[in-house]
Structure 1
């Protein structure tokens, strides 16, 4: 992932990081990336690992990457413990996230450095989080009361004491479906960008207006996470197919159109992020 994000920083674009849960989603991500000739990050969340199994996720992405002409990184999204992150590294993830954002600053730094010590030795990149991004993503939940925006000065200290490869920050986005239009704190993002010299990651981006995403990338975001938009495309298209053909029992005729719907969403996001033709 580090290589992809360093190139994104140079080129002033962002790499899309898309969450997967099954074969059709992996296929949609890779097909979209190939059609747009774009680098891509495939992510597995806590829920994806529980649902599909860690070995299945790695197997699916390994097969997809082996047959692809575009660069693909496999990333654990919101790794919750040192032990889980180590298991992902052993199974073949090329990038990991350790989320110590609920911990006090010094404890977050210590946990991140513990992961970095191992990951650096085996060439795996590490993302960490500072500030609490609201909403719920599988087993990771942060209430509106608990959510807090990233302190730019703390971000500077965090990066200086860890040298982490990418930093996820909280500037007003949230996981899951939004109840209203999110308002991003661009001034905070600019301040973090001035003080921190590592790629910045934007979580909870599915419901953020395109113009806001584009502005965040222009300021300095290099990785944009998308999950909810894929779920919406998958489920909505499945419902349409079943409504039109209530007696259909062939999973391929139900999931195939859902896969195509997700692919089109991913292609739109890749173009928005500016990573099209950057493979």
Structure 2
């Protein structure tokens, strides 16, 4: 059942659990997300970046989601635009059938970010579509970062309160110390949970954790054992994800983990049988492993059994 992001996250906000927002770039990824949701009786947010949309075609992305939503009518699913870079990009997604969009103007000064977000919110809400925005800059917190540097890159709770009040945005991604990709932290992982709790207290809306891939040991080892190189990457530990949910995070973006899990099995098949060229022989084990990763994440975030 295709619904707005707000319908899914409002319930998560009230009941204090997290919902995985899983990125997809093809049918194999998307269908696996639905299969895991069916297995775990979990709501899902499936999201596509502008790059993924360019790769698939926006009509194909929306069409596949609608087909799978009809195949699994008991699963609440929102189709979300991840990191929309402009007003025009968000409007294009809304018109194509996305039920949730993110306008990412966080690289602009506060006033311009607010202005752009308000523009998107006005159009989106008239169409029954929810809106996500971001405050602060995503970058891992390092041991040697100064207090001034930390305050400069992470979200200001008072600004978050004003931003939510003035923009009427549905959910907010506050920068608390994560970063995108596999290489998040140079030292030990650190997140500013006190800042998160203050933002939640002041805004009271669903909050979003970007850069939330964990790179769990089994996924890392599967990739490395088949010849992959993750260059000492460190993801967000499961304990941190649980703590983030307790602190008020309700939408947890996950992309890197799925890619690494998928490719580890493609590599494995290729390494073990150099003459194999049946794509199904590569994609079936890749989907199976990725499904395990997604199902485990649903348990960790607390969305399993919430349908």
- TM-score of the alignment, normalized to the shorter chain, above 0.5: yes
- Partner Cα distance (1:199, 1:10) in 2: 9
- Partner Cα distance (2:296, 2:264) in 1: 17
Partner of 1:275: 303
- Partner Cα distance (1:58, 1:247) in 2: 35
- Partner Cα distance (1:134, 1:84) in 2: 25
Q: Which runs of 4+ in 1 moved over 2 A?
A: 178-182
Work out the number of aligned pairs and report it.
271
Match of 1:167 among 172, 177, 192: 172
**Aligned: 1:2 with 2:30:** no
Q: Deviation at 1:197? A: 1.6
Q: Deviation at 1:5? A: 0.6
Match of 1:80 among 62, 76, 85: 85
How do 1:1-279 residues align onto structure 2 when only pairs under 5 Å count? 1-68=5-72, 69-134=74-139, 148-178=153-183, 179-180=185-186, 181-206=188-213, 207-279=235-307
Instruction: Answer 1 or 2: which has greater strand percent.
Output: 1
- Partner Cα distance (2:50, 2:169) in 1: 21
1:191-211 CA-to-partner distances (Å, cap 9, x unmatched) read 111111211000000020000
- Partner Cα distance (2:289, 2:265) in 1: 7
TM-score normalised to the size of structure 1?
0.94
Q: Deviation at 1:259? A: 1.1
SS of structure 2 residue aligned to 1:276: coil
Q: Which stretch of the first structure deviates more once superposed, 104-113 or 177-186?
A: 177-186
1:80-106 CA-to-partner distances (Å, cap 9, x unmatched) read 001111010010000000001011111
1:130-163 CA-to-partner distances (Å, cap 9, x unmatched) read 111138xxxxxxxx99x81111111011011011
- Partner Cα distance (2:139, 2:91) in 1: 26
Structure 1: gaps (5+ residues)? 136-143
- Partner Cα distance (2:133, 2:63) in 1: 25
Structure 2: gaps (5+ residues)? 141-148, 214-234
CA RMSD of aligned residues (A): 1.6
- Partner Cα distance (1:243, 1:195) in 2: 53
Q: Does the Cα contact within 8 Å between 2:25 and 2:52 map onto a contact in 1?
A: yes
Is the radius of gyration larger for structure 1 or structure 2? Answer: 2
TM-score normalised to the size of structure 2?
0.86
- Partner Cα distance (2:10, 2:89) in 1: 26
Q: Deviation at 1:46? A: 2.0
